[in-house]
Structures are given as structure tokens and as C-alpha cells.
């Protein structure tokens, strides 16, 4: 019998081969070149063996498979770039042949003449779902861990191994498009309702049910290979389709502003593919996939949202040679909304938390935030009653600093005031055990300044959370001038434990994310002052790819917070550090009109009682003489937003605040939703080239002010034809070691 590295094959007395996918040394099964070779050999082996009546494929791990491996995705781009250098005329054809490999393998499985059943026991995404769809039967466990999805669009590509064709021939076209263009995860029961799964069973019945399908005479022929097959709803040339298809591109444009080539390719693949025989349809999909892989968007999104995000999540910036910290207990000081939410995510990660405030009433009130979040999660079926109770049991409210005597890490989340923080640092350090780390959750106060209040600045670090903590995936880990490697390692271990993505930044006012966010908001102030209609400002930002307009964002973070930051900047750096027109606008909003943002129900928007939706405050357009909309170039507005943010990010690299381009890119997307299709702030510059970016900056500076002037670093990069990923190569150390 053939032995495989990643699979075991056992044939039972009924002639059913059970193929178990269990990759050694990996927490999750993924497609690699070796896995595809072995699967190909298994198809050949089971076809050749007359004793095998059918095949069940399942996973030996708690999840089924996450799809393609990082290295395989990376290899496609490397391969294409190398081929382009060798011979540009054949590079696309060679890429087309390469991406067809998985499509061909799954088609071979589907037409092998023997029935295959996929037994899905956990997460089944991307290529793994495409393989399952090529099987003749699909059974899924009803466990909560089962998530079924084709999420490729979220990283700039689309399901290119038969996904667009099989889903659109099993489910109705509208549900198929919805699933693939959003990349949404389905539960097993939703997948069954969409006809993507045949049966949903109890976890212990998974393999028996899959084998039973074969015993019951499962036909080894896909529905679309049967004579007379019609797609659900009758295909493209029907009255129902005549309603769906003219609207679909318009809906997609509303949602994506035409910024995502992968999403549009899904529509084209389905629309064209449903009009031709199945094998031709696969070729159409393969052609679009090859085309999308050659776009700057796909390259940049995959690099940032797939590769870099995984590398940072796995501790790419963690100092070497320091043992991993087992966090036995964490202290959180300050039970206000931020501190309470930090306690919640810590307890949700299985770590006991002591939540401290000035008295038991305040500390207990902080725990009630977690009680609300748990109730919500139980109501939505994300947690069972028992899991919710266990989570809450891990949070102990207290008013006594002595309860921190046995923690590994304390996170301070008190009011943004140097004196308040100073008092807390001193009180905590009086009881903190030797070697424990003190982390300050601050959004604006420099860490080195706060560390001056510490007796052990080497163990002092910043960990900046974003609100709402339970939803935002990013944390900024801020190094003070004296912060040691151990403090950094512990902070990164903690961020990994709570399943967030860290970016490590050096100390500066506003760190990385807030510096960029306020450039975005200040550009909107400039536009208001110029007389650009407020609705146009918001729409241009969304068309540029931002998730929310800058005025809406300013309402969320609070307009009086903007006022506080502007005033603090003047106090620290002098009058010239802020635009006096900005201060006048914000003072008028806050001091004269008491419009502070969403928190008091009125800001740049009005917030009526639900169910009415918020709307722009009509009086805003009376503040400045209004320009006519048709005299304003929407493309220039879009450029101004993206360029001002990217310029600020470039400054943080130049100043050594951010040192790794991966962190600037991932931080900008996760922190404030910087146009994800660009791959992030520095990929946006690299994507157009430093020379083009500098030219664009100079053009904008001439019309809209010196804050658009390109920096010395950018001019130097433009002159040398450099990129951020070349000049600040994050892998340089690894290459040197090799």
C-alpha cells in the first residue's frame, strides 16, 4: 500500500476508502504543491483499485482545511514576476497553466468514475471548499466550529479553482453572488439551505453518514455533467435572471466603488460561465483568475491581508531567544469602558483578570460591561450559557492594588491625564512582582514620558487598544526609549493570546494610527473650509475606498476629543503647529453649538431616535460659501484623502516610528480601514511607484497647501527608483542569516 505524508488511506470491508488529511506539524491542513501531488496519486490509486467502491475524504484535525498555503500563493506571484523578466510574451500563458493545476485536479476527482464524499468536520474554506464541491456528496457536522466560506475576495482574488462555477450551479445565482462577492462564512445549516451541502449530522455521525451515502448508491457524476442539466432558477436567459443581472453590477459598484477587480471578476465568471458547457466555464474562470492575479490590487492585498497579517500575528516582530510567557493572570486598572472591554477580551482568551478601580462599585460596574457582551454573545449563539458563565467567572472586580501581587502583566486604562496615570503607575509598582510587565493603554501620551514615573522603565511598554475592543483586530505596541526586549515579548504574547494583530511602533505623539487618522479628518476640515459640499466629502472618501467618511469618523471619535488634541498640540508645540481655521471650526462646533459627535446625538451629523438613520447636519453647509458640485473634480478629492494619509505614514517611516512596512500597511487597514484594495498606506505608494507619487504630491501641494509636499525620503526613493519593501526590506535579517 502506498504511504503518504499528508494523508492516510484505509479501505473498509464495504470497499469504502477513508482518506484522512492530517498534515504533520501544522495546526491546520492547507493546500501545498506536495498535498496536490498526493491527492492526485490517491485519485489514481482509488480508480485503479477495483476493491474501492467509493471514497470519503475528511480531516484528522479539529478543522477541515483553510485552503491554499501562504507559500503557494507567494510562489504564484514570484513565478509570474520571474517569467515576466525572462519573456514577457509568454508569462501570462505560463501563469494561466499554473493556476489551472488545482482546477484540473478537482475536475479529475469529479470525473474519476467513483463516488467521493467530503466529510466536513470544521472550518472549510477557499480551495478546501472548492475540492468539496467537486466531490459528489457533502456531509457536514453541526458543530459550532463548522464555517463554510469562499473568502478569497477579502484578500484581492476570487475562488479560481471551480468555485464560481460549482456554487452558481448548486445555489441560485443571487445567493451564489452574495456569498462569493462578500466572502461571508456560512453555518452548516445555511450551506445546506443553499444546496451546497447534502446533509448536516451530529459530529460522531459524520463518517458513518458519509459512508452511508456511498452505500446508498451515490452517483459518481456531478449534476452539471448529466444530460439536460439546468442551473437553479433556469440560468441566464430567464425572466428571473433579467431582474438580477442588470442590478448586480450596480449593487457591486455601490458596495465597492469599482475598486476590487476580484469582486467584478466573480460577476463576469458566473455570468459568462453559466452560458457555456462546464469545462468551457472552468476555462473562463481560469482566464479571469490569471487576469486578476496580474493586478496591483491582488498582489498588494494578498501581501498585506494574507501574508503580512499572518506573519505579524505569529510574532514576526517578537525578539528572539525569550521564552514564551504563559499568562497566569492579568491585571487591568481602570474599569471604565476601555478597561472593562480589555478585561472582557482577556477573559475570553481564557486568562483570569483582576479588574481594579477606585472602589468596588466602580469595579463591579466595569464587570457589568462584560456581562452585557456575554449576554449578547449567548443570545446570538456564539457562546453557550456555560461558556459565558465561565468567562465571567474569570473576571474579579477589586478596589485593592494588593490583588495585583501575582500577575504577569498589568494594563493601565485610566483617564488620559499624566497626573492620574502617574498615581496609578506608582500604586501598581508598589505591589507588582519582580519581572512583571506594566503596559499603558494610551492613545496620545508618549510612553517615554509616562515611563519617567516608573521605577523600572525597562519593564514599561504601551499597548494601545482601539474601540470597540472586542471588534477591532489591531493593537499598537509602543516602545518607550528604555523598554526592554522582555517587555516587548510579553506584550506580543499577550496580543497573540487575545487573537489580535500587533504593530510595533516607536514613541511619538499619536503613535501611528492616530497620526494617520487625524490627517484624514483634517483634510475634510480643509475641504469644508474650501466650500466642498459635506455630502461630496463623505462620498468621495467612500469612493476612494475608506469604510466611513471623515466627518462621520470624527463624530464617532468625538469632536471635543479633536478639540482637546488640537489645543494640546498648540500647548506643546506652539500656535504654528495647527491650522487656526481648523481650531476655529472645531471651537464653533463644540463651544458655541455643543455639537460633540455621536455621543451627544449631534455633530457633523444629526442622530435622531431609531429607526430613523443619521443624516448630515443641514446647517453645516452654511458655515462657508459653497462651491458648485460640478466644478469639483471628485478624482482629486479621492487622491487628497489617500495621499495625505500615505504621506503621514511615509513620515512615520522616515522618523523611525514605524520600522517595518508590513506594520504600516496592516496597521492602516485594520486600524482605520485605509482603502484595503491598495494593500495599505505604503503599498499604495509602492503600487504607483515613488516617482509617480512624488509628482502627485507636488501637484497637490501647488493647489492645496504645503502639507502635501513630498518628504526628503520620498524624493530620494523616487530618484533611486526604490520601493518601501525594497528599502526597508522586512526579510533582510532572515536573508542575511540564510
Question: What is the C-alpha to C-alpha distance for residues 141 and 131, in angstroms, rounded to an integer?
Answer: 17
Burial label for 548, CB within 10 Å (0-12, 13-18, 19+), is middle
Q: Which residues contact 574 (CB under 8 A, 6 or more apart)?
A: none
Which residue in the list 136, 198, 464, 582 is annotated as catalytic? 464
Within the chain, what is the greatest distance between any pair of CA atoms?
Answer: 86
The DSSP output letter for 463 is E
- Cα–chain center distance at 368: 29
Annotation marks residue 582 as catalytic: no
Question: What is the C-alpha to C-alpha distance for residues 663 and 311, in angstroms, rounded to an integer?
Answer: 10
Taking residue 296's Cβ as centre, other Cβ atoms within 10 Å add up to 17
Question: What is the C-alpha to C-alpha distance for residues 395 and 351, in angstroms, rounded to an integer?
Answer: 9
Helices (H), 431-484: 447-451
Q: How far apart are the first and last CA of the chain?
A: 39
Question: What is the C-alpha to C-alpha distance for residues 450 and 430, in angstroms, rounded to an integer?
Answer: 16
Question: HSE-up of 538 (CA within 13 Å, CB side)?
Answer: 15
Specify whether the CB–CB gap between 39 and 31 falls below 8 A.
Answer: no
Question: What is the C-alpha to C-alpha distance for residues 86 and 403, in angstroms, rounded to an integer?
Answer: 66
Specify whether the CB–CB gap between 566 and 583 falls below 8 A.
Answer: yes
Cell 487597514 found at: 669
Measured torsion, CA atoms of residues 569, 570, 575, 581, in degrees rounded to the nearest 10? 80
With DSSP H G I counted as helix, E B as strand and the rest as coil, what are the percentages for the chain, rounded to 5? 55, 10, 35
Q: Residue 510: which region, alpha, beta or left (left: phi > 0; alpha: psi -120 to 50)? A: left
Cell 506571484 found at: 77
Report residue 521: phi and psi, to 5°. -65, -40
Rg of the Cα atoms in the chain: 28
Calculate ∠ Cα 555-557-559, nearest 5°: 55
Q: Cis omega before residue 437 (within 30°)?
A: no
- Give catalytic residue positions: 464
Amino acid at each position: 500500500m502506498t504511504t503518504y505524508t499528508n494523508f492516510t488511506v484505509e479501505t473498509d470491508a464495504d470497499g469504502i476508502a477513508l482518506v484522512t488529511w492530517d498534515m504533520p506539524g501544522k495546526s491546520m491542513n492547507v493546500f501545498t504543491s506536495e498535498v496536490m501531488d498526493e491527492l492526485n496519486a490517491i485519485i489514481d490509486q482509488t480508480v485503479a483499485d477495483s476493491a474501492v467502491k467509493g471514497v470519503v475524504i475528511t480531516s484528522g484535525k479539529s478543522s477541515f482545511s483553510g485552503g491554499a498555503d501562504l507559500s503557494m500563493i507567494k510562489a504564484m506571484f514570484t513565478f509570474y514576476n520571474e517569467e515576466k523578466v525572462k519573456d514577457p510574451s509568454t508569462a501570462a500563458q505560463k501563469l494561466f497553466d499554473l493556476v489551472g493545476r488545482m482546477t484540473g485536479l478537482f475536475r479529475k476527482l469529479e470525473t474519476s468514475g467513483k463516488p467521493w464524499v467530503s466529510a466536513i468536520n470544521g472550518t472549510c474554506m477557499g480551495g478546501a471548499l472548492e475540492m468539496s464541491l467537486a466531490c459528489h456528496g457533502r456531509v457536514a457536522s453541526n458543530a459550532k466550529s463548522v464555517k463554510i466560506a469562499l473568502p478569497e475576495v477579502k484578500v484581492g482574488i476570487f475562488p479560481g479553482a471551480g468555485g464560481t462555477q460549482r456554487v452558481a450551479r448548486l445555489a441560485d445565482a443571487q445567493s451564489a453572488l452574495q456569498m462569493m462577492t462578500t466572502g461571508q462564512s456560512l453555518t452548516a445549516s445555511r450551506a445546506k439551505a443553499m444546496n451546497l451541502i447534502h446533509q448536516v449530522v451530529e459530529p460522531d455521525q459524520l463518517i458513518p453518514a458519509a459512508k452511508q451515502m456511498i452505500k446508498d448508491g451515490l452517483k459518481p457524476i456531478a449534476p452539471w455533467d448529466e444530460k439536460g442539466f439546468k442551473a437553479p432558477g433556469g440560468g441566464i436567459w430567464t425572466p428571473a435572471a433579467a431582474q438580477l443581472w442588470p442590478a448586480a453590477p450596480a449593487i457591486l459598484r455601490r458596495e465597492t466603488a469599482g475598486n476590487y477587480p476580484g469582486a467584478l471578476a466573480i460577476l463576469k465568471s458566473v455570468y459568462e460561465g453559466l452560458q457555456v458547457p462546464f469545462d468551457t466555464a472552468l476555462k473562463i474562470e481560469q482566464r479571469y483568475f490569471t487576469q486578476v492575479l496580474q493586478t496591483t490590487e491582488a498582489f498588494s492585498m494578498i501581501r498585506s491581508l494574507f501574508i503580512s497579517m499572518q506573519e505579524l500575528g505569529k510574532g514576526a516582530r517578537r525578539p528572539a531567544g525569550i521564552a514564551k510567557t504563559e499568562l497566569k493572570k492579568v491585571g487591568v486598572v481602570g474599569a471604565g469602558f476601555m478597561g472593562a472591554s480589555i478585561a472582557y477580551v482577556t477573559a475570553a482568551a481564557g486568562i483570569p483578570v483582576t479588574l481594579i478601580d477606585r472602589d468596588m462599585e466602580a469595579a463591579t460596574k466595569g464587570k457589568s460591561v462584560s456581562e452585557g457582551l456575554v449576554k449578547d454573545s449567548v443570545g446570538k449563539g456564539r457562546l453557550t450559557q456555560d461558556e459565558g458563565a465561565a468567562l465571567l467567572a474569570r473576571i474579579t472586580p477589586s478596589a485593592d492594588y494588593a490583588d495585583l501581587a501575582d500577575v504577569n502583566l498589568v494594563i493601565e486604562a485610566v483617564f488620559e491625564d499624566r497626573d492620574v496615570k502617574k498615581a496609578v503607575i506608582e500604586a501598581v509598582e508598589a505591589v507588582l512582582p519582580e519581572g512583571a510587565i506594566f503596559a499603558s493603554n494610551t492613545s496620545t501620551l508618549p510612553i517615554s514620558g509616562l515611563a519617567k514615573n516608573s521605577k523600572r522603565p525597562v519593564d514599561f511598554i504601551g499597548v494601545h487598544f482601539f474601540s470597540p475592543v472586542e471588534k477591532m483586530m489591531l493593537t499598537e505596541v509602543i516602545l518607550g526609549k528604555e523598554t526592554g526586549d522582555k517587555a516587548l515579548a510579553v506584550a506580543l504574547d499577550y496580543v497573540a493570546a487575545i487573537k489580535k494583530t500587533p504593530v510595533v511602533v516607536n514613541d511619538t505623539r499619536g503613535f501611528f494610527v492616530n497620526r494617520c487618522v487625524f490627517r484624514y479628518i483634517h483634510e475634510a476640515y480643509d475641504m469644508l473650509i474650501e466650500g466642498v459640499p459635506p455630502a461630496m466629502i463623505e462620498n468621495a472618501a467612500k469612493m476612494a475606498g475608506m469604510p466611513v467618511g471623515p466627518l462621520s469618523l470624527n463624530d464617532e471619535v468625538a469632536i471635543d476629543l479633536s478639540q482637546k488634541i488640537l489645543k494640546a498640540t498648540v500647548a506643546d508645540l506652539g500656535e504654528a503647529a495647527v491650522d487656526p481655521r481648523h481650531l476655529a471650526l472645531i471651537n464653533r462646533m463644540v463651544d458655541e453649538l455643543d455639537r460633540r459627535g455621536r455621543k451627544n446625538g449631534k455633530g457633523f451629523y444629526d442622530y435622531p431616535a431609531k429607526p430613523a438613520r443619521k443624516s448630515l447636519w443641514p446647517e453645516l453647509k452654511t458655515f462657508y460659501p459653497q462651491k458648485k458640485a460640478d466644478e469639483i473634480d471628485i478624482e482629486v478629492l479621492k487622491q487628497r484623502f489617500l495621499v495625505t494619509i500615505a504621506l503621514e505614514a511615509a513620515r512615520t517611516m522616515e522618523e523611525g516610528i514605524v520600522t517595518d512596512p508590513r506594520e504600516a500597511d496592516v496597521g492602516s487597514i485594520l486600524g482605520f480601514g485605509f482603502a484595503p484594495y491598495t494593500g495599505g498606506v505604503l503599498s499604495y505608494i509602492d503600487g504607483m511607484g515613488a516617482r509617480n507619487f512624488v509628482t502627485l504630491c507636488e501637484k497637490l501641494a501647488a493647489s492645496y497647501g504645503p502639507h502635501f509636499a513630498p518628504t526628503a525620503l520620498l524624493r530620494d526613493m523616487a530618484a533611486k527608483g526604490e520601493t518601501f519593501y525594497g528599502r526597508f526590506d522586512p526579510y533582510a535579517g532572515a536573508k542575511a542569516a540564510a
